Structures are given as C-alpha cells and as structure tokens.
Amino acid sequence: MESSVQRGRGRSPFDLIMNQIRRKRTTSDRKSTSGRFLSRQAESGGLPEDRETEEERDGAGVVPGPADLAESVCDMGWGRVCVFVKRLGKRADSRTLSLAHCDLTATDVLELATLLPSLSLLEEMDLSWNELIGGCLRSLTSHLQNVGGLRTLRLSCCRLTADDITALGEALKCVPVLEVLDLSWNAGIGGSTLQGIVGKLHPTLRELYLVACQLTETDATILGGIVSVLPRLCVLDASCNPLLAHTQTEAEDGSMSETEPGKGGVWGLGGLVPSLSHTPSLTTLRLHDCGLTTQSLGLLGGSFHCLRSLCQLDLSCNKGVAGGLSLLSPHLALLSHLGGLDLHLCCLTHTDLQALIQALPSLTELTELDLSSNKEVGGVVSDLVSALPLSQIKLLPLNGCSLNQESLSALALALPYLRCIDVSWSKMVGGRLALLLEALQPSVTQELRLSSCDLTTDDLLHLAVVCKRGVLSSLRVLDLSYNGGVGEEGWCGLLGEGGLGSLEELDLSLRPLTSKPSLLTSNPSPLTWLPTLLSAFPHLPALTRLSLQRWTLTAQEREQVNHALRKREVLLELDPVLFASSANQEGLEEERYEE
C-alpha cells in the first residue's frame, strides 16, 4: 500500500528508497560524481539544459548494494510502525506490541497487518479490549507468518466470531513457538466455535485462557480435545462459564433437559477431565463459576493422580458442590505441590468442612486457603487452624464467615503468619479488635481488611497504638469502610499517629444505604476530622488510592483535599457534588410527596 507521500510525488517505493540512499552518499562520492559530470560536460561542449527535471537530478549517482537497499527498507518499515503506534498513544517496541484498550477498528487491523513484515522480532502481541475488531481478524491472521517468533497472543474481549476463530486456527501453524493464548471474554466462542482451533495449537503452548466465553458442555468436550495434545500446558483458565459443567440427560424423544444432582446424565466435565491426564505439567487449574456439581468433584478428584504438578486449584463460586466435598477431599493428598486452594462462595456445609479439614495435614506446601463467604466456616475455625501448617500460611481470608468469639480467638493463632487478614462483614469483630491486633507481628501484615465490622472508636484507638509501635510498617492496604460507628476521636487518633509509611490504599467510605447524603439533607456525615487527614498526607508517601465515599465535603473542603494531593498521583474517590437551590429542593420534596 503506497503512502500519501508516494502518491503525492508520483514515485514508486523503489524510487523513494533509491533517493534516500543517494542522499546518504559521502562527500567523496559526491565529489567523484561531480568530476565525472564536468568531464561529460566538457566532452559535450556545454551545460545541461535548464529543463532538467528533479527526478533526473535525483537519478544521478551510484547504484546501491543489496545491503543498503535492505537497510533502507527496514528503516522505512519501522518508521511506519512508530507512527502507527504513537497515533494510538503507545510506545513502539520491536518485541512487544501492546495495543489493548485502543479502540482499534477494522481499518486499524488492516494497517497493522501491513506492518507485520517490519516486526519480525515480535514476541508478544496484545489486542485485548478492542471490541470493534470482531469479525475482521482474518485480515490480520493471514499475515502472521511474518511474526513466526510470536510467543504470546492476547485477544480477550474483542467480540470474536466463529470466522475469526477459524481464521486464527488456520494461521496458528505459522507461529510454532506460541506459549500463551488468551481468548477470554469473547462470548462468540461458545457453542462449538472452539472446534476451529482443535489440533491447530502446537505442543509449545503453556497457558490457555478462555474466561467468560459462554462455553457449554459441548465445548467442554472440544476443550478436552484441545488440551489432550498440549503436554507442556501449565495454566488452564476456563472460569466464568457457568454452563461448562452443565449436567443434561436425554429424554425418550431425544430432547435434552437438566439433570437433577445424583440422577446420572452426561456430565459436562466428562469430556474435559479425562484429557487432563495428557497435561502432566499443569500447575494452575481455574474453574471458578463453571456450574460444578457434586458429580463434577468426584470426576475431578479421580484425575488428580495425573496432575501431581498442580499448584493452584480454583473451584470457587460453584454453589452446586455443596455437600459433595467428601468426593474430592480424599484425593487432595495426591497434590503434594498444591500451594493455593480457593473454595470461596461454595455454600460449603459442616460436613464438607470436616472432610476438608481431614485432608489439610497432607497438603504440606499449602500457603493460601480461601474459604470466605461460607457461613459454616465460622463454627470450625478452631479445627481449621489446628489442621493448617501455620508457619507457612500467608492467606486465609474469612470475610463473610459468620465468625464468633471463639473463632476470633482461634484465628489469632494464625495472624502472626498471615500476609493478608480479611475478617470483613463480621460484626463480632466490633469492640474486640484488640484481640486480633495484639497477635500481629512486625513487618508481616500487608493487607488488613475490616469492612463492615461494627468497629468502635476504641477499636481505632487500639489500631493507632499498634501503628505507632511500627507493627504495621509494611501495610499496603487498609480497608475500614462501612464502619459508621467510629467517632471523630477514633479517626483522628489513627491518622495522627503515623506508622503507615508503606500504605498504598486507604478506604474510609461509609455504607451506601444508611449514610449516603441526599439533596434534602444539609450535612448528614460531615468530615470533621479533615484537618487531621490533611496533615497526615505527608506521612503517607506511598498512598495511591483514597476512598471517602458518602462523607460530605463542602466545595472548599474538596479543594483542600485536591490541593494537598496536587503533586501526587492519588486516585481520590468522592461522591459527586450535588447542587440544589432551595427552590429546587422544594420542588424535589413536592415531587417525592406526590409519588
């Protein structure tokens, strides 16, 4: 495709390259040429005609060698790449092309395709979150042979169609060293569309992401065919596909209907799990929100003898597994390298938890266990802590677990080792925070989340004392949101003591439903401790996010906060400014009464 400069001057690309080379001639070359020109002038008996064209003058000179010609072609191609990338607000890199969130269009994809010959060293291409390129991927994939060294290809949230996947499958033979493929958040992939890449991926692939692609039980079988020829696969993420493990049964008329748990049927994972035996290198398996059932757990557990390298297992947000963890737990002992197990929001029963607790001693390398948002956990914290290898546990979130006083006492035994402490949505913590704080060890805790814990002023004063002692000097995240019972003394005490030099995120927001200011309320939650907050900013050098939602600030107070943070890159979260004159307020009040 000719550039606008070429079209304007009427020259071919070859002529343009030749002219660029001639302009780079050394002074000696030009002198030599001038000598030859004068000799010819003397022999011909006069000067050249004044009508000599610019192209004739440019045409004089030495003929470039193949090396010079190739170098100029390369320079010109890379220049076009730089212009294209800069236009999209990105920086050009010969090995990494990151164009995510660039609002790319079909025209941009066509132009990018013509630039691939100039990106022969490219190893990573990210075109994610460009929804306008769906349906036109073929124009790009037909040129992938120019980037044969590509190792990472990310196309998440691009509205890919069946034709796009087919085109991608046809082009995958041109990228034999591809290691990472991300097709997540493309709803058009579900419904057998994955068939387009079956048998097309090379054994070099190490990571495959298919999050939120509306995959069905049919796709589970297709996915099984894909992974069965990927012996080096390390990461498989098929999360957020609630129909993936959808259980169906065939009626007499041939129609399919949902099967009730325990009544047999065709299991969706039945086409995928057996194929995992061909992925001995698998270290991460994520099936978050995939519609897993108790039958799924039994099937999955039976495959663990082939997955001895597994380090991370995510089965969270699958409420259908409730009551069936006993089918999985006995097989966990086979996963000797398991470091992370996520079962949050699975409606686990007391029986499920007891089965898990029996298996925990065999998981000697476990460092992260997420059982949050399972209300029954609150009653077994003591047994849970006793079964865990406490000295190596770094993550044990128990938010939304209906903790009681006995739970808090048992949890205190694990706190000295935890990197992240999350007991949010546990009302029992209010008035008893000191019990947890006294168990903390210096420079260990990096995240402390106490959202909606009914904290009191005394709780925050205890927290202030701990901060002053330097126990939380490594804390990066502090979430104290939705604790409207704390008084001004508590907020001032915490912010005035210091000791939070590493803090990056601070959330002090109030609860939306009970504390959100309205146009009819003059000042429901005034920030009376604002001066203390402002004076604390210099002692929070690492702060990148501050949330004060539902607190009422006047225009002047907002300006004070913005002024204090003017030279820092801090994300400040405040409620929108609400303007209403007295007349407007009366009108709103009348309208409310009429309703």
Highest mean pLDDT among 15-24, 59-68, 98-107: 98-107
Gap between the Cα atoms of 585 and 519, Å rounded? 7
CA distance 500 to 508: 15
Q: Which amino acid is at 145?
A: Q
The whole-number average pLDDT for the span 291-301 is: 94
Other CB atoms within 10 A of residue 84 CB = 19
pLDDT above 50 for 185: yes
pLDDT tens per residue, range 136-150: 999 999 999 999 999
> pLDDT band at 576, cuts 50/70/90?
confident
Q: Which amino acid makes up residue 434?
A: A
Average pLDDT over residues 22-46: 43
Identify the CA nearest to 351 among candidates 318, 383, 376.
Answer: 376
Q: Does the structure show a pLDDT above 50 at 325? A: yes
**What is residue 527's predicted lDDT score, i.e. its pLDDT?**
84
pLDDT band at 267 (very low <50, low <70, confident <90, very high): low
Is the pLDDT reported for residue 59 higher than 60?
Answer: no
SS3 505: strand
**Higher-pLDDT residue of 4, 292:** 292
Mean pLDDT across the chain: 84
Across 64-73, 344-353, 434-443, 461-470, least confident range: 64-73
Q: Is 459's pLDDT higher than 60?
A: yes
pLDDT at position 369: 98
8 Å CB contact between 496 and 463: no
- pLDDT higher than 50, residue 453: yes
Q: What is the pTM of this model?
A: 0.81
User: Is residue 263 predicted with pLDDT exceeding 80?
Assistant: no
Q: Which of 353, 340, 360, 355 is closest to 381 using CA atoms?
A: 353
Picking from 15-29, 104-118, 149-163, 538-552, which range would have the lowest pLDDT averaged per residue? 15-29
Over the stretch 403-425, which tens digit does the pLDDT of each residue have? Answer: 999 999 999 999 999 999 999 99
pLDDT at 22: 46
User: What is the residue-wise DSSP string for 31-88?
Assistant: HHHHHHHHHHHHHHTSPPPTT--HHHHHH-SPPPPHHHHHHHHHHHHHHHHHHHHHHT
Answer yes or no: is pLDDT of 594 > 60. Answer: no
Q: What value does the mean pLDDT take over residues 117-138?
A: 96
513-532 pLDDT, tens digit per residue, is: 654 444 333 445 678 899 99
pLDDT at 269: 86
Q: What is the pLDDT of residue 513?
A: 66
